[in-house]
Amino acid sequence: MTKEIIRNDRTGEEYTRVLHDSGLEILIWKTPGHSVKHALFGTRYGSVNTTFKTSDDPDFVTVPNGIAHYLEHKLFENEDCDVFDLYAQTGASGNAYTSFDRTCYLFTCTDNFIPSLRILLDFVQKPYFTEETVRKEQGIIGQEIRMYDDNPDWRVFFNLLEGIYHENPVRIDIAGTQESIAQINAELLYRCYYTFYNLHNMCLAIAGDVDEDEILSVCDELLKPCENKELISVVPEEPDTVKDSYKEQSFEIAVPMFNLGFKSKPVSNDELARETILCDLCEELLVGETSPLYKELYDSGLINSAFYSETFAGNGYFVPIFGGESREPEKVKERLCEEIGKRITEGFDESTFETARKHYYGALIKGLGHPESLASKLINTALTGSKNAFETIEAVASVTLADVTDCLKRRFDTENCTLSVIRPIEK
């Protein structure tokens, strides 16, 4: 086992990084005086990881869409009881989530941290699947898929991804489809579990007023060492251009909803944090609540307070997105594209940029005071392959107006975007 303290001189904060003998990376951020303790046990396994191989496999294998999410559901059931019943005995609040590039199991508590940690480490390492329980889960997840299919917020986003991407599995709902989950069986679940839930592919992240030695003692006892299988996961090659420039669907809603996304080249894990920050700043300068364009769009009734922007980025995908409600989404797109062209030519105001950068930096510093935020920052650091959780803070502190202008030119191609619209059903 090796241990190192990772410290940031700018903030004075530090955390411990342990490479455990089992192969697991353990990150611990101590926050003396805080009552809340938060832990996440995560794996680099999400909905896009459908084609993969290990050193044991002669060739790549492709599994059904939605299997990562399916596996997350099934791990909460073991041979003896439901995991939530165990957490109820310690008073912890347990949960889990599957995204495009990861699956994480977590709990939050104020007391009984070590007993709750034991539950987390135990059940995530103890898969139990039978054909009977797998078939039962198909009905439950099928209902979940139908529920999201009836959710306009969900559909406007995934319609956008379907318009942007030709082949990348990020365009498929995280839970899969009714057809894909029907192909899942216990054998496939075990294969994916032992491929992706290898401790060399995972991380344990903890933040709170905790005892580091106690944590490592429990890890020594419960972690099950395994061989590094040299896992490789790939996504299909993707054309540079969007698949469809416009997608539309109708729902029982009062006001049309929209997402506008700009297809952009994905980046390596080393570049992800910085590129995401640059895009976030571009979006803030273009249409932040203090920007002239936001005021124009809002005052003219083209947008309302539901308007937002985000940078959707990860392993193999990168899309700056603007979204919200508008009775004329095409006009919103037109004005946004005009403003992007103008700013590429004329640039942004230096003082406005500095204000946005300092606000971004302040929000990151504020997050250092919350164990939940810190644990999430740690798990994100590990699962994206970064070696330093302070990377984002350092990047925000160092980016320049020239960096942001360059990002605008590279990532906001007004000729390579998709508009996804959900309109009210005409009666």
* Beta-carbon contacts of residue 362 (< 8 Å; ≥ 6 apart): none
pLDDT for 269:
86
For 87-109, give one letter per residue: b (16+ CB within 10 A) or e. Answer: beebebebebebbbbbbbbbbbb
Q: What is the pLDDT confidence band of residue 77, given thresholds at 50, 70 and 90?
A: confident
pLDDT for 139:
87
Residue at 289: amino acid letter: E
- pTM of structure: 0.94
For 246-424, give the CATH class.
alpha beta
pLDDT for 177:
93
Pinpoint the residues of the chain covered by CATH 3.30.830.10: 2-234, 246-424
CA-to-CA distance for 67 and 63, rounded, in angstroms? 7
Q: What is the pLDDT of residues 257-295, one digit of tens each?
A: 999 999 999 998 889 999 999 999 999 999 999 999 999
CA-to-CA distance for 322 and 308, rounded, in angstroms? 6
Catalytic residue among 4, 13, 25, 72: 72
pLDDT for 135:
87
131 classed as catalytic: no
Q: 333 near 419, Cβ under 8 Å? A: yes
Pairing of strands 103-109, 202-208: unpaired
Q: What is the pLDDT of residues 179-236, one digit of tens each?
A: 999 999 999 999 999 999 999 999 999 999 999 999 999 999 999 888 998 999 998 8
pLDDT for 385:
84
For 2-234, give the CATH class.
alpha beta
The residue with greater pLDDT, 255 or 82, is 255
List Cα–Cα distances, 83 to 76, 106, 107, 124, in angstroms.
Answer: 5, 12, 11, 10
